[in-house]
Amino acid sequence: MALIPARKIKMPLQAAIIDIGAHSARMDIIQIEKNKSYEILESLVQPVNLGRDVFTKGMISPESTSLLCRIMKDFAAKTAEYGVGYIRAFATSAVREAFNREIFINNIKIASGIDLEVLEGSKEAALITMAVKKALGGKTALSKADLLLLGVGSGSVEVSLVRNGELKFAETFALGTIRIFEEYGSRAAEPERLTDIIDSYMELIADRISRISDIPKTIQFVAVGESVRVIMDINGKAAKNQPVRTITLEKFEKLFRKINLLSQAEMAEKYQISDVAAKGIIPCAWIVKRFFDMTGAGSLIVPAVTTRNAVLEDIIRQLFNEKDPFIPDMLSVVKSMAKKYCYDPNHIESIKEIAVKIFDKMHAIHSLGDRERLYLEIAAILHDVGRFVDSRKHHKHSCYLISNTQIPGLTEEERLVVAAVARYHRKGKPQASHPEYMVLPPQMRVLVCKLASILRVSDAIANSQERKTRNCSVAVKDRVLAIKISGSVDMGLEKILLTKKSDLFEDVYGMKIVLE
Amino acid sequence: MSDFLNKKYYVSRELSWLEFNARVLDEAGDIGNPLLERLKFIAIFSNNLDEFFMIRVAGLRQLSGSKTLQTDCSGLDPAAQIKAVKKRLKSLIERKYRYLLQEILPELEEKGIQIVSAEQLSSEQRVFLKEYFLNQVFPVLTPFAVDPSHPFPILNSGAIEIAVSLSRDDSGKVMHAFVEVPTLLARFIRINSSSKNKQQYVLLEDLIMEHIQFLFSNCTIHEIIPFRITRDMDFSIEEEGVADLMQYMKKELRHRKSREPIRLELPKGSRGKLAEWLMEQFQLDDDLKYNVPMPLNPAAFFEFIGKVNRPDLMNQSWPPLPVPEFSNGGGSMFDVIDREECVMDAVPFQSFDPVVKLLNEAADDPDVLAIKQTLYRVSGDSPVIKMLQRAAENGKQVTVILELKARFDEDNNINWAIKLEESGAHVIYGIAGFKIHCKALLIVKRTKDMRIKRYVHLATGNYNDKTAKLYTDMGMFMCDPEICLEVSSLFNVMTGYSSPLNTWNRIAVAPFSLRERFIELIDREARVSTRNNPGRIIAKMNSLVDPEIIAHLYRAATAGVKIDLIIRGICCLKPGIGTANINVISIVDRYLEHSRVFYFRNCGEEEYYLSSADWMPRNLDHRIEIMFPVEKESVRKVIRQMLEIQLKDKRKSRHMLPTGAYTRTFNKGKDNSASQFRTYQLFQEIYDKSRQRREETKKLKVFSRPQEI
């Protein structure tokens, strides 16, 4: 994700956030104040049909592309009316699944001058989780809460599980309120077929969650998404502008029975909503109903959170150079994942500790930042997950597993970097014949080398540390990395291991390692 | 509720419109009005009637032709409506010519202003006129012959045509020809008269008929008849198939010439072969032929009134007063709006200048980023257009939403559109399916501390400096962030940048939420009304037609709500059926009553609204309209006073009777309660008070100076 040169931007700032979803393109023009508060100056929405294109044909049609180009051009013109100094445009489910997405993004750029980024499911889930936590803030004691978060979109649903305030699970599933009709045709509207489709996804979701954690008996059920909001609006217009709304299971079921009797057109007419919104209501209500069943919750909490304002909060954090508050959640999820693959917690802890120590001491040499440090930490936690498959070639298995697992908060590219760092924690160095290495852009390959070399060194030392002592210090002096392990008796084995594993480090940094 | 949809509660829309025009005619007959004002009302009446034929009668004809038996809310089918219209028109047209020929023109003659016929001319005058004809008129005349080699020509709607029967001297065969009286030339030609204090005029068609021989040399002229046809102009645009609305409108305007004739006006007493031939050619039903006294097309008296220039025979002028808030020397327009939050301008009592001044400041202010405005009917050399052009040239984002479908003004609008586009403004020609009728101006400005601040002006009347001198309208300058935000989203819908988000709370927008909002407000009044604390609604508008609203009004009145309706034009609600709680008045005076004001008592938590919409289906369902609240107490107070003045008007207001007819007013002599006069006085007082206060503060400053030191 592009970092914003924060020092150059003055507050108050007029910014635009554009969100291209499966069925609508939206833009908010906002004014961000010095105290980080913001005000929406304009909201725009245009219906689009990317969902139908992508979920049935796998690609965005030329008609949709030209419509989106026109809309984005209008949006760009609109930003000029406010002298907008910062534009962030992102696309969610439909575009991210389209195989011609790069061409689409390029067309948008040419037509409107706007760079469109694809917001990946894992990133979207992370942002929404944070926004929900913030929105619920005072309402529930979140630090210790157990919470199931459901994000219902027209093209996908996101499911997150928080236990004791720590995120344990977050995944995106290809079950969307409108997508159902697009993938399964109009027959999906038949009640039985609709519940069959939803139930098959529910089994999948339950199975995925159960591999990470059981669902506690008392859990808060939170849902966000446009269709959920529409249902809440129908429940009571008066509370429309409240930051958090709730509905009891009983009330929800009553409401569901009521709307289930209406046709789509009747709903649109009666509740003054668009046809697309009306279409999504019944599938959404079913999904919510199934989650009520799954969680056994007595009520549903709906905070006023949208992907757009979740991204907005992310932008504000970046503008103000704030630390990513999602890092603890991300590390928590990564640990759950490692646990799933039967990791060795002691080894992980010590290798992570040493790796981070080396990373921090070498800052002047590698000049990498917090984000890169996070990649190293995650790679350290996950580097051995491949052992679950087989000890032989386990670094390759780790690479495969990591690159194919959704990690909330990491983009696909970031995940591939982490996978490659884990891949090179042992055995051969990166080579032009390694596809997992070559798939990365050149600057990312450099990053992989820098991080993997540290991880390799740490792995060599961690082995001994676990057995002998926990005290290790690191110093950098005159192009020598000096690692001192105090209280140890015999360092013979470590020295042998280190000579085997310091090769990449010496290649990358041109430094020697001395073990004392 | 369905009970109140019964036809007994409703008046036919067309007949109600005729009653409105009858009230206009009353003004022509009102001896309390100065002579030229009376003549002006004759012109207005005639012009109104022309439009009525072109649109409404034409529409009825199309309906009756299609054989579908559609009845209106009063239960009349199209044929019955045409019949009733014709019947009512007979007496109106008689009255019109009686006022004109027996009262106004003779009295004008006494005041030294005379329209003379050819026979009355002196020989000197004849010489002058012959010169004038040959130099000025003859070159632009184009006679059309009608014979087997020349098909029947396409005659312009509304123009005066001269039919000629003649025979060539060599063959002797009788032929026919037409000469159109050019609308580009003056209809009233002033001639030198014997006395200095006397003005004499000759009508252009008389001059042409007098010299008709010049057009047909070597021919013998048998008969000459002037006449006028009116054509069906009720075309609706099938927009879905129209990619370029602008091109379509241009084409449609050209086609107007050839549309179906809907009325033929012939001089009274036209008989003989030529008249018979004419009737034959047009093949019109009897009820579409009108034999009228001369002169044809009295709408042209507008030109005459301007020419004679006799202020003594006109209303004493009421110069528009400055809006006090803006004339206190308190900085820029933006500063004043910042300070006051809400400022009203009520044209034509107050000046239209603040709008122009705001645009003028915005065009040059480097902090202004964008200007958006709806333009519906724009005057010829509009200052509004000039400011917008300049703003666009200065690099501001200028968006103009121009309604090309404003009836009869299309030609005018297209020209301005091209001009604006050339200067870099973004011009949008309405949205398919909806006429844009709301009047809104939005300015986006950056403040000194780099924030965005928006300003709006919302009004009941168009951004037209000419009509702002003739139509009573109210506009509101505001900077309330919520209202500005909601107006912004309305512009996004109008420009096609966004679908409606339905997030309008402070304002209501047709066709999305305005009808529902009106009904909610009426129903709420009915709900909270009790015997001791009756509800009250005052609604002022141009026309009340919508059956659903009428039914809700009836229900509210039956529940005890006292309802006063101030409706200048059509009112399909029949007051006094089953309840005495509904009172309908109509004010027709020197200015055209045009504002839409709505008051709801709401148990003492009073609400005031202004709107661009009438209570008509076309406004509520097929147009983009806006209603906005008036929340500032000082402004509400002025509006309340205006409404009270109108309800107390005994001079120029008429009461609607349960039959759908109205009381007449013009015999009331020198009553002083005319609401437009009293409203002007009200604004005079407001202005005087503010000036006094200003002067007092100035004086205070002088005294306070020594203490400062």
Give the CATH number, domain containing residue A214.
3.30.420.150
Query: How many helices (DSSP H) and strands (DSSP E) are in chain A?
Result: 22, 14
CA dist list (Å): A425 to A351, A399, A421, A492? 11, 10, 7, 21
pLDDT confidence of residue B471: 93
pLDDT confidence of residue B441: 96
The answer as to whether A321 is a domain residue is no
Q: Is the pLDDT of residue B2 over 70?
A: no
Q: Which stretch of DSSP H or E encloses residue B105?
A: helix B105-110
Compute how many other C-beta atoms are within 10 angstroms of the C-beta atom of residue B612. 28
Which residues make up the CATH 1.20.58.310 domain(s) of chain B?
14-111
Which residues of chain A neighbour B428 with C-beta distances below 8 Å?
A: none
Which of A252, A93, A253, A233 is closest to A176 using CA atoms? Answer: A93
Say whether residue B485 is in contact with chain A using an 8 A CB cutoff. yes
Q: Is the pLDDT of residue A4 over 60?
A: no
What residues have CB less than 8 Å from B96, skipping those under 6 apart? B25, B28, B42, B45, B46, B298
pLDDT confidence of residue B408: 53
Residue owning tokens 């089953």: B578
Which residues make up the CATH 3.30.1840.10 domain(s) of chain B?
117-241+259-298
Say whether residue A83 is in contact with chain B using an 8 A CB cutoff. yes
Say whether residue B448 is in contact with chain A using an 8 A CB cutoff. no
User: Can you tell me whether residue A300 is helix, strand or coil?
Assistant: strand
Which CATH number is correct for B117-241+259-298, 3.10.450.50, 3.20.20.210, 3.30.1840.10, 3.40.720.10?
3.30.1840.10
pLDDT confidence of residue B59: 81
Mean pLDDT of the region A235-252: 85
Within this chain, do residues A185 and A255 fall inside the same structural domain, yes or no? yes
Q: Exposed, middle or buried by CB within 10 Å (0-12, 13-18, 19+), for B695?
A: exposed
d(CA A291, CA A298): 11
Chain B nearest CA to A192, separation (Å): 33
d(CA B324, CA B575): 39
d(CA A334, CA A328): 10
User: β-strands B536-541, A299-303: how paired?
Assistant: unpaired
Mean pLDDT of the region B347-351: 95
Q: B401 and B430 in contact (C-beta within 8 Å)? A: yes
Indicate which CATH number applies to the domain containing A444.
1.10.3210.10
Say whether residue B397 is in contact with chain A using an 8 A CB cutoff. yes
User: β-strands B607-611, B596-600: how paired?
Assistant: antiparallel
pLDDT confidence of residue B240: 39
Distance between alpha carbon B347 and the CA centroid of its chain, in Å? Answer: 14
Q: Is the pLDDT of residue B238 over 60?
A: no
Q: Is the pLDDT of residue A466 over 90?
A: no
How is residue A324 written in tokens?
A: 């990513």
Point out the catalytic residue in the list B211, B437, B457, B594.
Answer: B437
d(CA A492, CA A484): 14
The answer as to whether A312 is a domain residue is no
How is residue A386 written in tokens?
A: 């491949």
Residue owning tokens 């300003």: B455
Query: ipTM of this model?
Result: 0.78
Which residues make up the CATH 3.30.870.10 domain(s) of chain B?
324-502, 509-691
Within this chain, do residues A136 and A112 fall inside the same structural domain, yes or no? no
Q: Is the pLDDT of residue A343 over 60?
A: yes
pLDDT tens per residue across span B243-297: 455 555 555 555 555 577 888 898 888 888 888 888 888 877 777 788 888 789 9
Within this chain, do residues A292 and A383 fall inside the same structural domain, yes or no? no
C-alpha gyration radius of chain A: 25
Compute how many other C-beta atoms are within 10 angstroms of the C-beta atom of residue A361. 16
How is residue B448 written in tokens?
A: 């000194």
Q: Is the pLDDT of residue B19 over 70?
A: yes
Give the dihedral sign, CA B375/B379/B383/B388: positive
The answer as to whether A491 is a domain residue is yes
Contact B498 A43 (CB under 8 A): yes
Domain end residue (candidates: A91, A119, A147): A119
Q: Could you tell me the end-to-end alpha-carbon distance of chain B, in angstroms, rounded to an integer?
A: 74
Q: Is the pLDDT of residue B15 over 70?
A: yes
Q: Is the pLDDT of residue B708 over 80?
A: no
How is residue B369 written in tokens?
A: 């980023």
CA dist list (Å): A213 to A336, B356, B527? 8, 68, 56
- Please tell me what DSSP assigns to residue B313: G
Q: Exposed, middle or buried by CB within 10 Å (0-12, 13-18, 19+), for B570?
A: buried
Range from A460-464, B5-9, B174-178 that averages highest in pLDDT: B174-178
Q: Is the pLDDT of residue B500 over 60?
A: yes
pLDDT confidence of residue A135: 84
Burial B586-611 (b: 16+ CB within 10 A, else e): bbbbbbbbbbbbbbbbeeeeebbbbb
Torsion of CA A430, A434, A440, A441, to 10 degrees: 70
Q: Give the mutation candidate from A24, A78, A112 for the B interface (greatest B CB count, under 10 A).
A: A78
d(CA B653, CA B647): 8
Q: B458 and B439 in contact (C-beta within 8 Å)? A: yes
Say whether residue B501 is in contact with chain A using an 8 A CB cutoff. yes
User: Where does the pLDDT of residue B490 fall: very low under 50, low under 70, confident under 90, or very high at 90 and above?
Assistant: very high
d(CA B518, CA B552): 10
Spell out where B512-601 has E strands. 536-541, 562-567, 582-587, 592-593, 596-600
The answer as to whether A319 is a domain residue is no
Chain A nearest CA to B485, separation (Å): 6
Q: Is the pLDDT of residue B703 over 70?
A: no
Say whether residue B75 is in contact with chain A using an 8 A CB cutoff. no
pLDDT tens per residue across span B200-214: 999 999 999 999 999
Number of domains in chain A: 3
- Please tell me what DSSP assigns to residue A470: S
The answer as to whether A314 is a domain residue is no
d(CA B571, CA B565): 9
Whether B211 is catalytic is: no
How is residue B474 written in tokens?
A: 């109210």
Amino acid letter for position B203:
L
Domain end residue (candidates: A119, A143, A164): A119
Mean pLDDT of the region A91-114: 93
Which residues of chain A neighbour B502 with C-beta distances below 8 Å?
A: 272
Which of B429, B453, B456, B428 is closest to B441 using CA atoms? Answer: B456
Q: Is the pLDDT of residue B100 over 60?
A: yes
pLDDT confidence of residue A204: 92
User: Where does the pLDDT of residue A93 fall: very low under 50, low under 70, confident under 90, or very high at 90 and above?
Assistant: confident
pLDDT confidence of residue A468: 53
Within this chain, do residues A104 and A164 fall inside the same structural domain, yes or no? no
User: Where does the pLDDT of residue B410 fall: very low under 50, low under 70, confident under 90, or very high at 90 and above?
Assistant: low
Q: Is the pLDDT of residue A6 over 50?
A: no
Spell out where B143-236 has E strands. 143-146, 160-168, 174-180, 188-191, 199-203, 219-231
Which residues of chain A neighbour B501 with C-beta distances below 8 Å?
A: 43-45
Contact B444 A82 (CB under 8 A): yes
User: β-strands B471-478, B508-510: how paired?
Assistant: unpaired
Within this chain, do residues A131 and A79 fall inside the same structural domain, yes or no? no
d(CA A304, CA A232): 10
Q: What pairs with residue A353 in β-bridges?
A: none
- Residue range B324-502 forms a domain whose CATH class is alpha beta
Q: Is the pLDDT of residue A470 over 70?
A: no
Contact B449 A12 (CB under 8 A): yes
How is residue B586 written in tokens?
A: 């109509």
Q: Which stretch of DSSP H or E encloses residue B317?
A: none
The distance between the two most distant Cα atoms of chain B, rounded to a whole number of Å, is 105
**Who wins on pLDDT, A471 or A5?**
A471
CA dist list (Å): A249 to A214, A218, A295? 22, 14, 11
User: Where does the pLDDT of residue A143 fall: very low under 50, low under 70, confident under 90, or very high at 90 and above?
Assistant: low
Which of B313, B307, B315, B303 is closest to B111 using CA atoms? Answer: B313
User: Where does the pLDDT of residue B169 fall: very low under 50, low under 70, confident under 90, or very high at 90 and above?
Assistant: confident
Mean pLDDT of the region B526-543: 95
pLDDT confidence of residue A340: 84
d(CA B530, CA A265): 39
Tell me what percent of the residues of chain B surpass a pLDDT of 70.
91
Q: Is the pLDDT of residue A111 over 80?
A: yes
- Residue range B14-111 forms a domain whose CATH class is mainly alpha
- Please tell me what DSSP assigns to residue B661: -
Mean pLDDT of the region A232-257: 87
Q: A379 and A447 in contact (C-beta within 8 Å)? A: no
The answer as to whether A283 is a domain residue is yes
Indicate which CATH number applies to the domain containing A12.
3.30.420.40
Mean pLDDT of the region B601-625: 94
Half-sphere exposure of B567 (CA within 13 A, CB side): 29
**Average pLDDT score, chain A:** 87
Compute how many other C-beta atoms are within 10 angstroms of the C-beta atom of residue B188. 19
Instruction: List the domain range (segments joined by +) for residue A465.
Output: 327-515
pLDDT tens per residue across span B116-153: 988 888 888 999 999 999 999 999 998 888 877 777 77
Within this chain, do residues A113 and A137 fall inside the same structural domain, yes or no? no
Of A226-240, B168-182, B276-290, the one with minimum mean pLDDT is B276-290
Spell out where A382-479 has E strands. 472-477
Of A144-148, A447-451, A504-508, B688-692, the one with minimum mean pLDDT is A144-148
Nearest to B397 among A41, A46, A81 (CB): A81
Q: Is the pLDDT of residue A30 over 70?
A: yes
Of A238-242, B42-46, B639-643, the one with minimum mean pLDDT is A238-242
Phi-psi region of A300 (alpha: psi -120 to 50; beta: other; left: phi over 0): beta
Q: Exposed, middle or buried by CB within 10 Å (0-12, 13-18, 19+), for A127?
A: buried
Amino acid letter for position A2:
A
Within this chain, do residues A128 and A114 fall inside the same structural domain, yes or no? no
Within this chain, do residues A252 and A292 fall inside the same structural domain, yes or no? yes
Q: Quick check: bond before B295 cis, omega within 30?
A: yes
The answer as to whether A99 is a domain residue is yes
Mean pLDDT of the region B324-341: 88
Within this chain, do residues A21 and A50 fall inside the same structural domain, yes or no? yes
Contact B446 A83 (CB under 8 A): yes
Of B14-18, B168-172, B472-476, the one with minimum mean pLDDT is B168-172
User: Where does the pLDDT of residue A170 fall: very low under 50, low under 70, confident under 90, or very high at 90 and above?
Assistant: confident
Mean pLDDT of the region B342-355: 95
Which CATH number is correct for B509-691, 1.20.1260.10, 1.10.3720.10, 3.20.20.80, 3.30.870.10?
3.30.870.10
Residue owning tokens 């509720």: B1
User: β-strands B342-347, B471-478: how paired?
Assistant: antiparallel
Alpha-helical runs (H) found in A39-190: 50-57, 62-81, 93-97, 101-112, 121-136, 179-184
d(CA A231, CA A291): 15
The answer as to whether A32 is a domain residue is yes
pLDDT confidence of residue A483: 86
**Average pLDDT score, chain B:** 87
User: β-strands B536-541, B562-567: how paired?
Assistant: parallel
CA angle B387, B389, B390 (to 5 degrees): 65
Alpha-helical runs (H) found in A157-248: 179-184, 191-212, 226-235
Q: Exposed, middle or buried by CB within 10 Å (0-12, 13-18, 19+), for A411?
A: middle
pLDDT confidence of residue B235: 54
User: Where does the pLDDT of residue A184 fall: very low under 50, low under 70, confident under 90, or very high at 90 and above?
Assistant: confident
pLDDT confidence of residue A141: 55
- Please tell me what DSSP assigns to residue B669: T
Say whether residue A438 is in contact with chain B using an 8 A CB cutoff. no
CA dist list (Å): B550 to A240, B534, B571, B574, B618? 31, 19, 10, 9, 15
Within this chain, do residues A105 and A141 fall inside the same structural domain, yes or no? no
